[in-house]
Chains A and B, each alone.
Chain A
């Protein structure tokens, strides 16, 4: 049982970090970013190139992942989402654009890095063995701790920095924020960059454990959508709760339901449907009118 809980926390920490980026972009722009999983894969490949290929220290690689994805995110907002949002009357066209960007990023990743599964050397060796009740490699513990640290840093940044305050104001009420002197287009770009950066950081963290391949993007986006649905779209605490709940459910499901075959996600989806029938806005989302 301890092992299951430990696995749940480990999965939950990374899931929460993925969901945070998605929900941040959604809260600020009302854009459902289909390309989030692809951003994550891109982050993984950047770390793979710098740490695995060039042999530079892991910290440098992680930093490079964060910075390059932030630039990609800002560029996406500046050149694609921004103009489309300004000119179109329908929120669906941003969704269409996001789907197009997901295809584009897939194509770019395919051309730049190929379709093979890529892995990097372990960053820490050894396995923690606590009386055979919890067995976990040290690198997983390190990644889990890093993920939690990044989540905490993100919350603190959103809560106490000037930028964070502006972003929260923007998420709460776009027009009121603009009237109070928040530069909407600038902070939209910062918000998008921040969301993409979070995806890149998770990619950089997880490449050390699971490796990275082109096909991971779509399923990752779908998991992120699940978490956001559980926690409530556009709410930061909801994304964290959703991430940990999904991680825990996956971990428990894999151990309890394994004798029935691979039905964990079916059960998760069925329970999500029941849950949404009772509470359509998710755990912490605001009801819409």
Chain B
């Protein structure tokens, strides 16, 4: 067997092992152990890692994005409003939520993607807060009351054959949502991996290293930035929409500044150099936070101290790639 074939088959083996783990081993283990509460935790991890993947993608073009909460909120509201007020099927609102967020992000991205470094970080953080205030102010989102008792996703049938069963009729709704989130996560990261290893991915890396140089060689940086930001926001919208379907409710405070910062922390912790970094980071941070629940009122203190200690001990350890463009000192 020649070497490239071996690499490909080894990779396929890893993917197959991962699929078996996520789709068969994990549900089986949970059933065997009787810890059905873990379904919700793992579903959340899967969905948050989709949104974090979007943040990771904007890191990939050299932008620190702390505004993903805004798009998760926008996606959630799009889905909720379409389902409750227009009677659209959840399965149609899912892509609609993603596309609405992508369209919104093009509009917002046009001016703000010209900013860099901390400036972009600041404006996206403000964006999260503005999204919350908008949801509070607009009549269609029903303000602080939020949108509640959203019906569960219905049945999808093609030529009389049920493809996706009605979630309301499922014996185990948690398992249903777990599969939904896990499959979406797999699709998302497969797409992300494909994107990073394509021509577009190389162009993104050139942007991350030096925008002026990339531009002078002939890369259309303005167009590329918008496309990547739109994809990133699309993922945020999808994550938010599924989250709303699970909790069957959405409030302006469903996604706020803390969530946006968490998305960013997930990416940092998992490693910015690896496509699957956001998945790992979300898993560790979410489970870490859950495990610390036992410590009661010291939960936040220990969590924050651990994050700080991690940064102090490994300032470059988990962050494997470098951005030589950023100089320190002066503006």
- Which residues on A are within 8 Å of B, measured CB to CB? 26-27, 30, 32, 34, 80, 83-85, 87-93, 95-97, 99-101, 103-104, 106-108, 110-111, 171-175, 218-219, 222, 225-226, 228-229, 233-235, 261-263, 265-266, 269, 272-274, 276-277, 280, 285-286, 288
Contacts and interface: CB of A to CB of B under 8 A. Distances in A.
A261 to B, nearest CB: 5
Contacts of B265: 96, 99
Chain B at the A interface: SS class: helix
Nearest to A99: B261
Interface string B109-122: 01110111111011
User: For B123, B126, B300, which residue has the most chain A Cβ atoms within 10 angstroms?
Assistant: B126
Contacts of A89: 316, 322
Contacts of B330: 30, 171-174, 234
Contact of B311 (A27, A93, A108, A263): A93
Contacts, number: 157
B312 A104 contact: no
10 contacts: A83-B312, A84-B311, A93-B315, A93-B319, A95-B121, A100-B307, A111-B301, A263-B134, A269-B130, A276-B114
A222 B126 contact: yes
A274 B297 CA distance: 44
Given A90-B319, A173-B329, A225-B126, A107 B300 contact: yes
A276 B129 CA distance: 18
A174 B133 contact: no
A172 B301 CA distance: 37
B129 A222 contact: yes
B242 interface: no
A87 B331 contact: no
B307 A95 contact: no
A100 B311 contact: yes
B4 to A, nearest CB: 34
Contacts of B8: none
Given A104-B308, A233-B118, A266 B134 contact: yes
Interface in B300-331: 300-301, 303-305, 307-308, 311-312, 315-316, 319, 322-323, 326, 328-331
Nearest to A234: B331
Contacts of A280: 114-115, 119
Contacts of B117: 91
A222 B322 contact: no
The contact size tier of chain B is 35 or more
Interface of B: 64, 108, 110-112, 114-119, 121-123, 125-127, 129-130, 133-134, 136-139, 257-258, 261, 264-265, 268, 297-298, 300-301, 303-305, 307-308, 311-312, 315-316, 319, 322-323, 326, 328-331
Contacts of A100: 304, 307-308, 311
Contact of A90 (B121, B127, B257, B322): B322
Nearest to B119: A233
A273 B118 contact: no
Given A32-B118, A92-B64, A103 B319 contact: no
A88 B130 CA distance: 32
B111 A274 contact: yes
A120 to B, nearest CB: 25
A91 B328 contact: yes
A107 B122 CA distance: 23
B118 A91 contact: yes
Given A103-B304, A222-B126, A276-B115, 8 more contacts: A30-B329, A90-B323, A96-B307, A100-B311, A171-B330, A219-B129, A266-B133, A280-B119
A32 B122 contact: yes
Contacts of B331: 26-27, 30, 233-235, 285-286, 288
A27 B328 CA distance: 10
B312 A84 contact: yes
Contacts of B125: 222, 225
Contacts of A111: 297-298, 301
